[in-house]
Structure 1
Amino acid sequence: MRVISGTCKGRPLKAVRGNETRPTTDKVKETMFNVIGPYFSGGRALDLFAGSGGLGIEALSRGLDHVIFVDRDSSAIQTIHHNIALCNMEEKSEVFRNNAERALKAILKRNLTFDYIFLDPPYRKQKLEGLLHFIENNNLIATQGTIICEHSNDVILPPKIGNLEQAKKGDYGSIGLTFYHLIESEKGV
């Protein structure tokens, strides 16, 4: 596992020990960033179910200003801290040990919105649709923001959830990616 591009290009990243965390492959990561970037001029992201922190670190390496990393596993949290330090990105990062729902409620209290939200929950416990509803209902994604969902290729997500509209989807082996954009609601309807 490594950073593919940007200021930390080629930097190896530590993986979380055990079988509980499944890192995003380089091929899928490259596809993901080609769709949403590939480079950024600032912005903020949320890496929910962060695992080793690879997606958020890739986003920082490619130019985002700030990433909040969330995972419920203590080994993952230690690995995220290690990888962030390895890339000298401590000042651009916040790391929280929490489950996804509690983390989103805590973020809501801070009045934050994100330009990018990475959702990569454990495949056997998919909660993507509920998380997308919560994010949309509580305005956690910025105007023109993008939510990137990584899931098993047999998961089919709805084309629209409130003001979130599916912009792109594709299968990459056993992995599926679905991208949502926030669309502006029609005024006066």
Structure 2
Amino acid sequence: MRIISGKFAKRNLFTLKSRKTRPTSDKVKESLFNSLGQFFKSGQVLDLYGGSGALGIEAVSRGCEHATLVDINYAAVEIIKKNVALTRAPESFSVYKMPSSVALKRFAEEGKKFNLVFLDPPYAKQKIAADMKKMLDLQLLNQQAIIVAETDDQTELPEVSGFSLLKQHHLGKTIVRIYQKE
């Protein structure tokens, strides 16, 4: 797995050799960023189930200002830190080891707001709709914020009030849904 484009392009990323994380493939990542627009002018990114940190790092590589990377797994957080170090821009990232629900509450208390959010929880623990609702309730999203939700092809997501589904891509056994805050 590597950073595909932008200022950190072509750097190989570390991944966790575990069933607890499921890294987004380069093919899926490239398709996802093509859908979002190749590059960003700025913005705050949240990757709530960071895994290797690849999605947040890719977003910063393509022009986002800062990425907040969260994972509950100690080994995953260590991999994220190693990958952030590869960028040589640690000031562009914040890394947290905590459950997603605790992280969202903490970010609300700190007054954080995000423009782009990646939700890619382990398939066995689909919490996407609940996380989206919680982010709205806690006012963690800027106007017209984008939520990118990645699931397996067997997972149905209910409509979430306050969001519009902009795009849906079926990529092998992966479905990527792109929502926008209304």
TM-score, reference length from structure 2: 0.97
Work out the CA distance in 2 between the residues paired with 1:162 and 1:174.
27
* 1:168, distance to aligned residue in structure 2 (A): 1.1
The structural deviation recorded for 1:162 is 2.1
Q: Which runs of 5+ in 1 are unaligned?
A: 184-189
Report runs of 4+ in structure 1 exceeding 3 Å deviation.
none
Is 2:107 aligned against 1:107? yes
Structure 2 SS opposite 1:77: helix
Deviates most, 142-151 or 132-141: 132-141
* More divergent stretch after superposition (162-171 vs 105-114): 162-171
Structure 1 position 167 matched with structure 2 position 153? no
Which residue pairs with 1:186 in the alignment?
none
Please list the CA deviations of residues 91-123 of structure 1 after superposition, one character each: whole Å capped at 9, or x if unmatched. Answer: 011000001111100011011110100000000
Judge conservation of contact 1:71–1:96 (CA < 8 Å) in 2. Answer: yes
Q: Who is 2:76 aligned against? A: 76
CA drift at 1:171:
1.1
Amino acid at match of 1:97: K
Q: Is 1:136–1:162's contact at 8 Å kept on the other side of the alignment?
A: no
- Taking only aligned residues, the RMSD between alpha carbons, in angstroms, comes to 1.0
**Corresponding residue for 2:153?**
153
**How far has the Cα of 1:128 moved from its partner?**
1.0
Identify unmatched segments of 5+ residues in structure 2: none
Alpha-carbon contact 2:105-2:138 (below 8 Å) kept: no
Identity of aligned residues (%): 37
- Indicate if the aligned counterparts of 2:41 and 2:64 stay in contact, CA closer than 8 A: yes
TM-score, normalised to structure 1, is 0.93
Larger radius of gyration: 1
Residue in 2 aligned with 1:119?
A: 119
